[in-house]
């Protein structure tokens, strides 16, 4: 192998790549917030809802988004919807696609969390005279957050990685920008190695911040990475 | 007038087999009434029914002459301000430390002064021997310690009657005595108690009355000495001889 590493050609693009990483973080954060919101409604319907039709609709939604590739879902939003007169920008299509996709997975996670609330704690709250609202605020929510914090953190990290597919739609997030630099410098090995390092830094920083929040706010015992 | 009067109480889970059949029982102020009987005889169901976790199908419960309406939320709320229950499995809130487990209901539900409640809760936890565990979480406490927190939590509500549901049966044998000591302290303080227990020595020592249940019915009641030394019904004789090993 006579390949000579030439880091000098790509190091100058580090700031540009970090800008891409920032966009990746933004997309992941917004998609996650949207996904958690939809999943909370879905999981509530599945756990406590009495309307059969509504439950079936939510189940179908979850099955659809969990059993089709996220890339196909975004292709559909970006290329198929315009046929019906709905035009989304690449940023909107990617954000919406990731949101809908992650909401399917998060629905299952949240549902498991709701089901893990111990009946015994609810009974104790009842006999102490707590109202449903007090019970939800003081007993159920803290428990659900504590139980779900580690899987939700993992899901968030996974989502950050998945944002790389946004580059297919021309978005200049980290992978997209790495591709641009590679095309300009022809130093693919160096560029994609640097972007990989940036992804590692990105996820390690995110994991550490989330771990600290979890540990101090919710007494989560999960280990860091 | 009795402090607590139960008249012909009947209850079932999901409308299936009746777990309580025409149960009648009275508890006077300051009395300690122990419910004994084999597993599945309805002892715990009776306590759960009294606090509204199992809604009775028929019969009446009177508290100081006032009828409890278990279908009315206000009535159940008023009842729960006067009756506190300690469960077999402690049922502590896992996200709260010992002190907060004890203070949460008086502060958040009864809207009492937080500082005052905290002082009382600290005193209660000291009373049950947990003065050094105020800020320990349930998963950092042994079963016996958790059960004593549960007792302190129930007492913090200043109940008129304390219901104890097999509070030692989930504990390792060496942890039982610390919970029994806490119950003895309450008995010495004159607390009215209705307790389900398999600790026959304790039942004999502190009970003013013992009630034997079987298949959801009260089959015999009397003083502890009378029930243990001279049971009248055949079923009670059989149970007592088995449990006392003679």
- Model pLDDT for residues B172-191, shown as the tens digit of each residue: 777 788 888 888 888 888 89
Alpha helices, DSSP H only, in chain A? 8-11, 14-48, 52-66, 70-75, 90-115, 119-127, 132-135, 141-162, 174-185, 188-218
CA distance, residue B9 to nearest chain A CA (Å)? 20
pLDDT of residue B246: 54
How far from B81 is each of B154, B155, B166, CA to CA, in Å?
Answer: 10, 11, 22
Interface of A with B in 131-150 (CB under 8 A): 134, 138-139, 142-143, 146
pTM: 0.74
Residue in chain B nearest A120 by alpha carbon: B91
**Rounded to 5°, angle at Cα B88 from B5 and B78:** 40
Tens of pLDDT, residues B44-70: 999 999 999 998 999 999 999 899 999
- All structural domains of chain B: 1-82+160-167+195-246 (3.40.50.300), 86-158 (no CATH)
Closest Cβ–Cβ partner in A120, A128, A218 for B157: A128
CA distance, residue B80 to nearest chain A CA (Å)? 6
Q: Which residues of A touch B164 (CB under 8 A)?
A: none
**SS3 state at A184:** helix
Q: Which residues of A touch B109 (CB under 8 A)?
A: 128-130, 134
Average pLDDT over residues B97-118: 94
Q: Which residues of B touch A123 (CB under 8 A)?
A: 53, 87, 91
Letter string b/e over residues A189-216, b meaning 16 or more CB atoms within 10 A of that residue's CB: ebbbebbeebbeebbeebbeebbeebee
Rounded Cα gap, residues A141 and A116, in angstroms: 11
pLDDT of residue B199: 86
ipTM metric: 0.86
Residue in chain A nearest B74 by alpha carbon: A129
Structure tokens, A141: 């929510």
Q: Is A130 on the interface with B (CB under 8 A)?
A: yes
Q: Which residues of A touch B91 (CB under 8 A)?
A: 118, 120-121, 123-124
Say yes or no for a CB contact (<8 Å) between A143 and B109: no
Say yes or no for a CB contact (<8 Å) between A127 and B94: no
**Pseudo-torsion of CA B3, B9, B14, B17, nearest 10°?**
140
pLDDT of residue B138: 93
When pLDDT is cut at 50, 70 and 90, the band that residue B201 belongs to is confident
CA distance, residue A122 to nearest chain B CA (Å)? 9
Q: Which residues of B touch A120 (CB under 8 A)?
A: 87, 89, 91
List the pLDDT tens digit at each of the 225 positions of chain A: 678 888 888 888 999 999 999 999 999 999 999 999 999 899 988 987 888 999 999 999 999 999 999 999 999 999 999 999 999 999 999 999 999 999 999 999 999 988 888 888 889 999 998 888 888 888 888 888 888 888 899 999 999 999 999 999 999 999 999 999 999 998 899 999 999 999 999 889 888 888 888 887 777 766 655
Identify whether the C-beta of residue A74 lies closer than 8 Å to the C-beta of residue A93.
Answer: yes
Residue in chain B nearest A218 by alpha carbon: B95
Rounded Cα gap, residues B226 and B34, in angstroms: 13
Rounded Cα gap, residues A68 and A76, in angstroms: 11
Say yes or no for a CB contact (<8 Å) between B81 and A123: no
Structure-token match 């099955």, residue found: A63
pLDDT of residue B194: 95
Q: Is B109 on the interface with A (CB under 8 A)?
A: yes
Mean pLDDT over all residues of chain B? 91
pLDDT of residue A47: 84
Say yes or no for a CB contact (<8 Å) between A129 and B91: no
Say yes or no for a CB contact (<8 Å) between A130 and B108: yes
Question: How many CB atoms sit inside 10 A of residue A104's CB?
Answer: 22
Residue in chain A nearest B76 by alpha carbon: A129
pLDDT of residue A109: 92
Rounded Cα gap, residues B230 and A188, in angstroms: 93
User: Does domain A11-218 match CATH 1.10.3720.10?
Assistant: yes
pLDDT of residue A1: 67
Q: Are strands B161-165 and B32-36 parallel, antiparallel or unpaired?
A: unpaired
CA distance, residue A124 to nearest chain B CA (Å)? 6
Say yes or no for a CB contact (<8 Å) between B87 and A128: no
Tens of pLDDT, residues B207-239: 999 999 999 999 999 999 999 999 999 999 999
Q: Which residues pair with B165 in a beta bridge?
A: B196
């Amino acid at each position: 192998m006579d390949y000579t590493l030439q880091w000098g050609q790509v190091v100058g693009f580090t700031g540009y790549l970090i800008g891409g990483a920032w966009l990746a973080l933004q997309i992941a954060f917004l998609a996650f917030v949207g996904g958690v919101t939809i999943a909370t409604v879905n999981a509530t319907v599945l756990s406590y809802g009495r309307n059969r039709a509504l439950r079936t609709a939510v189940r179908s939604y979850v099955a659809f988004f969990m059993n089709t590739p996220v890339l196909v879902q975004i292709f559909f939003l970006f290329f198929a919807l315009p046929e019906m007169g709905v035009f989304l920008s690449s940023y909107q299509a990617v954000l919406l696609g990731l949101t809908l996709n992650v909401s399917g997975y998060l629905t299952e996670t949240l549902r498991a969390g709701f089901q893990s609330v111990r009946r015994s704690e609810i009974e104790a709250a009842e006999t102490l005279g707590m109202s449903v609202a007090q019970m939800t605020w003081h007993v159920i929510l803290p428990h659900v957050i504590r139980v779900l914090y580690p899987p939700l953190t993992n899901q968030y990290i996974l989502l950050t990685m998945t944002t790389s597919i946004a580059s297919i739609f021309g978005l200049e997030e980290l992978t997209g920008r790495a591709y641009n630099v590679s095309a300009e410098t022809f130093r693919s090995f160096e560029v994609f190695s640097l972007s990989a390092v940036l992804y590692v830094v990105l996820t390690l920083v995110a994991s550490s911040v989330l771990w600290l929040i979890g540990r101090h706010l919710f007494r989560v015992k999960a280990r860091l990475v | 007038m009795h402090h607590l009067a139960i008249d012909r109480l009947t209850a079932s889970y999901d409308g299936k087999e009746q777990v309580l059949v025409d149960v009648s029982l009275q508890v006077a102020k300051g009395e300690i009434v122990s419910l004994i009987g084999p597993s599945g005889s309805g002892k715990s169901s009776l306590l759960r029914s009294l606090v509204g976790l199992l809604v009775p199908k028929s019969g009446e419960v009177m508290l100081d002459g006032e009828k409890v309406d278990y279908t009315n939320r206000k009535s159940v709320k008023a009842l729960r301000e006067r009756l506190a229950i300690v469960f077999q499995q402690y049922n502590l809130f896992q996200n709260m430390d010992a002190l907060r487990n004890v203070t949460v209901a008086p502060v958040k539900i009864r809207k009492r002064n937080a500082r005052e409640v905290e002082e009382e809760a600290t005193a209660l936890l000291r009373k049950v021997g947990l003065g050094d565990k105020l800020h320990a979480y349930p998963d950092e406490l042994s079963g016996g310690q958790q059960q004593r927190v549960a007792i302190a939590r129930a007492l913090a509500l200043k109940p008129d009657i304390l219901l104890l549901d097999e509070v030692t049966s989930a504990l390792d044998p060496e942890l039982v005595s610390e919970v029994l000591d806490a119950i003895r302290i309450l008995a010495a303080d004159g607390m009215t108690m209705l307790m389900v227990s398999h600790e026959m020595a304790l039942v004999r020592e502190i009970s003013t009355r013992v009630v034997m249940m079987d298949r959801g019915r009260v089959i015999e009641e009397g003083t502890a000495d009378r029930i243990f030394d001279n049971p009248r019904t055949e079923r009670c004789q059989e149970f007592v001889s088995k449990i006392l090993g003679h």
